[in-house]
Amino acid sequence: MIIKSSAFKKGEVIPAKYTCEGDNVNPFLEIKDAPHGAKTLTLVVDDPDASHGGIWDHWVLWNIPAGTQYIEEDTVPHGAVVGKTSFGSNRWGGPCPPPGTKPHRYRFKAYALDASLELPPETGRVGLEAAMAGHILAEAQLVGVFMRK
């Protein structure tokens, strides 16, 4: 399975448009080669370099139809559930590290699951990961970086 974006390549800087310094919308994403038998996809975007010492969650999606290959800019795939981010909202929260810190890594993690998940929208990454346990058929990751001026 592969996840990539036309907005940035692996290891490259995420354009400001997709961050708190720009329009703060999700970038275009392409997910390819989900395995046979996948029923749904999930997507987690997080920052493992968060200043508070934990992982900061920027976007949490589940029950994306398995046939979905494209997530358009500033959209949520039809049928997907958007979970709670570390910002306390159920929407994309773009990269926004504290000014003056070194570049943070942002992981776009896609998973193919053999099931749909019945979770309330207040579920965050930790609850989603617990629900996914034992259902992951494949996973892929795209990492971009961003640093505020």
Mind listing the pLDDT tens digit for each residue in 87-131? Answer: 999 999 999 999 989 999 999 999 999 999 999 999 999 999 999
Direct distance between the N- and C-terminal alpha carbons of the chain, in angstroms, rounded to an integer? 34
Task: Identify the band that residue 53 occupies on the pLDDT scale cut at 50, 70 and 90.
Answer: confident
Predicted local confidence at residue 51, as pLDDT: 76
Task: Identify the band that residue 149 occupies on the pLDDT scale cut at 50, 70 and 90.
Answer: confident
CB 95 within 8 A of CB 105: no
Task: Identify the band that residue 66 occupies on the pLDDT scale cut at 50, 70 and 90.
Answer: very high
Once rounded to an integer, what is the mean pLDDT over residues 19-43? 97
- Structural domains for the chain: 2-146 (3.90.280.10)
137 pLDDT exceeds 80? yes
pTM, whole model, 2 decimals? Answer: 0.96
142 pLDDT exceeds 90? yes
Tell me the C-alpha distance between 34 and 11, whole Å: 22
